[in-house]
């Protein structure tokens, strides 16, 4: 699969970073887009290069100019905020979550839907949306806004898979559970994954690279008849 071009949103940390490194190890051309952390993104790019891949920080035009049409799109960027019940959330809390997690993802998916069907026939083409098991658990008294935004990702996955299937583009979602990444720091509970992960059937939190492996499989021809899937990577949670 050399020459495969993959664009990752939110590729500077956590699951996005792990996915970028995995793609680099496979020799794919990797483009990284990030929201906040430029330093971390640059560090990830360096590691991707060292792993044998290539890098482009930017979105579709830069990726296309550098490597040609995109074959894989990973829509990963999302944010969370300190845990609280919905009754305590104001608009200033809700709007950034919905703007980033829903609107941002839909705009990225829309651009992929405009471009990817036009890519060469016979090439594996796949859009992977990073959702969360929060979409089915609801995250009561913590992040019902985040959970709701991820529910929107599940709906986007199902609908877009039906729109793009006839054009040879597969669309699936990965739904991580309690994964040891720094997103939990944003909630004010940095130890959340370790504490609650011990209560899952697997008795531990997951690691970002475990989610990345699932994403890598969905991007690859090995999953050529998989679309519209909501793949939980959550230790049975």
220-233: pLDDT as tens digits: 999 999 999 999 99
Is 146 catalytic? The answer is yes
pLDDT at position 56 over 60: no
- What is the model's pLDDT at position 57? 46
Backbone angles phi, psi at 81, to 5 degrees: -145, 175
Q: Which pTM value belongs to this model?
A: 0.87
Task: Give the integer Cα–Cα distance in Å for 155 and 159.
Answer: 6
Could you say which of 106, 143, 146, 225 is catalytic?
146
* C-alpha R_g of the chain: 17
Q: In angstroms, rounded to a whole number, what is the distance separating the alpha carbons of residues 66 and 36?
A: 23
Three-state DSSP at 31 gives strand
What percent of the chain shows pLDDT beyond 70? 83
Residue-wise pLDDT for 58-107, tens only, equals 578 888 888 889 999 999 988 888 999 999 999 999 998 898 899 889 98
Burial state string for 173-210 with b = 16 or more CB within 10 A and e = fewer than 16: bbbbbbbbbebbeebeeeebbeeebeebeeeebbebeb
Nearest to 69 by CA among 101, 36, 114, 115: 115
């Amino acid at each position: 699969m050399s020459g495969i071009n993959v664009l990752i949103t939110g590729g500077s940390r956590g699951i996005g970073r792990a996915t970028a490194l995995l793609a680099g190890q496979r020799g794919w051309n990797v483009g990284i887009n990030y929201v906040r952390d430029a330093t971390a993104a640059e560090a990830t790019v360096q590691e991707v290069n060292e792993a044998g891949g290539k890098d482009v920080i930017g979105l579709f035009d830069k990726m296309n100019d550098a490597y040609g049409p995109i074959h894989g799109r990973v829509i990963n960027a999302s944010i969370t905020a300190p845990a609280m019940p919905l009754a305590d959330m104001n608009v200033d809390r809700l709007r950034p979550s919905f703007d980033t997690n829903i609107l941002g993802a839909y705009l990225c998916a829309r651009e992929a839907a405009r471009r990817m069907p036009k890519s060469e026939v016979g090439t594996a083409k796949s859009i992977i949306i990073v959702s969360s098991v929060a979409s089915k658990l609801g995250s009561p008294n913590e992040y019902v806004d985040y959970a709701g935004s991820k529910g929107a990702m599940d709906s986007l996955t199902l609908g877009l898979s039906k729109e793009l299937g006839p054009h040879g583009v597969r669309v699936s979602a990965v739904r991580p559970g309690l994964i040891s990444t720094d997103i939990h720091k944003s909630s004010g509970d940095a130890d959340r994954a370790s504490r609650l992960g011990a209560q899952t059937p697997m008795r531990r939190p997951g690691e970002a690279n475990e989610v990345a492996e699932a994403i890598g499989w969905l991007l690859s021809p090995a999953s050529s008849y998989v679309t519209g899937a909501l793949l939980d990577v959550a230790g049975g949670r």
